[in-house]
Amino acid sequence: MYKPFSYLIIKNQNKMNLQKAEKQQVKLRIGISSPSGFGKTYSSLLLAYGITNNWTKIAVIDSENGSGSLYSELGEYNVLNLEAPYTPERYIEAMKVCENASIEVIIIDSLSQEWSGKGGCLQIHEQLGGRFQDWSKVTPRHQAFIDAIQQSKCHVITTVRKKIDYSMDRDSNGRTKVVKLGLKDVARAGLDYEWTLSFEIINKNHLVVASKDRTGLFVNSPEFKISSNTGKKIKAWCGETHRRSREEIQREIEQCTGIEGLRHVYAKYPDRQEELKPLIMERKKILETVFSQVLPNNEIIEQSKISNNGISNS
């Protein structure tokens, strides 16, 4: 259950801890999407190795029929085979197993099963009756899974399948026709708002583009193949974020176009959250005014729902 931010501040003020001084680093949240067979798992493993430089510190939560074990020749990484039902709670449990084993990079392969697989959110919604109001029971469970990713002490790489999306339209003569809309993620809409980086593999040659990039490392970059060097480049960026000035972070906050982006920025600087909270809350008010309290995923912002990271849970 989410607690008001003010409650957490009071609680933290009453509890003092002496901790070893250490440089704060960002925990990465990276998404990789593509149709089946384009190399999501392989690319994720190379990326993970670049981030940690230690195969034994990588774990694949595999819900894709053993695909996580296909590349064992790369190194001695770990695999947790996740079978149906693919409920949000089972994914959360699998993540905890990895965290308790001191894993540094968790690869969730894939998120699509949590949404559309057997026992996933779509099936849960259908079993509840399939009514619009039934999402009030499903959404909190899905959000708890997303929060577990955001709050994990590990770097997290997620994969998502893409499929061709169609619509039924009418032509000028009133006849119904099928229109091909292009590729669509098999996941809840708006998921990429949560991530630090989102890579899209565009063909079977494993070429990728960055569809979202909060690091600025791949802005306007040509198509490329993910390698361990890609992971090293991103990891180096992590070590630089703690030195950013207040003005640089403020510009980052001002560029946020949704609540999910604000939540990401807040989690990105754990040692500066008290300093940044007023800026983030001010930006939140502006977004609520501009979008008439409707988020990009069409969910309503409720002022009374403040999550344990200080940003609206809705």
148 pLDDT tier (thresholds 50, 70, 90): very high
Q: Where are the alpha helices (DSSP H) in the chain?
A: 5-13, 40-52, 88-100, 112-116, 121-128, 135-151, 228-238, 246-254, 259-268, 273-290
Q: Let me know if domain 24-243 sits in CATH 3.40.50.
A: yes
Contact 32, 199 (CB under 8 A): yes
pLDDT in tens, 186-242: 677 777 767 889 999 988 889 999 988 888 888 778 999 999 999 999 988 887 655
Q: 295 or 7: whose pLDDT is higher?
A: 295
Looking up tokens 């540094």 gives 104
- Per-residue CA distances from 158 to 29, 194, 301 (Å): 8, 11, 26
According to the model, what pLDDT value does residue 25 have? Answer: 60
* Highest mean pLDDT, choosing among 277-281, 286-290, 297-301: 277-281
The number of residues in the chain equals 314
According to the model, what pLDDT value does residue 8 have? Answer: 36
Contact 207, 223 (CB under 8 A): yes
According to the model, what pLDDT value does residue 80 have? Answer: 95
Interstrand relation of 58-62 and 105-109 (parallel, antiparallel or unpaired): parallel
Q: In whole angstroms, what is the distance from residue 277 CA to residue 273 CA? A: 6
Q: In whole angstroms, what is the distance from residue 155 CA to residue 306 CA? A: 25
Token digits for 251? 């510009």
Supply the mean pLDDT for the chain: 80
Residue-range domain boundaries for the chain:
24-243, 244-314
Q: 247 or 228: whose pLDDT is higher?
A: 228
172 pLDDT tier (thresholds 50, 70, 90): low
Nearest C-alpha neighbor of 250 from the set 230, 285, 276: 276
Which stretch of DSSP H or E encloses residue 296? Answer: none
17 pLDDT tier (thresholds 50, 70, 90): low
Q: Helix 259-268 crosses helix 246-254 at what angle (to 10 degrees)? A: 160
12 pLDDT tier (thresholds 50, 70, 90): very low
Please state which of the ranges 36-40, 110-114, 174-178 shows the lowest mean pLDDT. Answer: 174-178
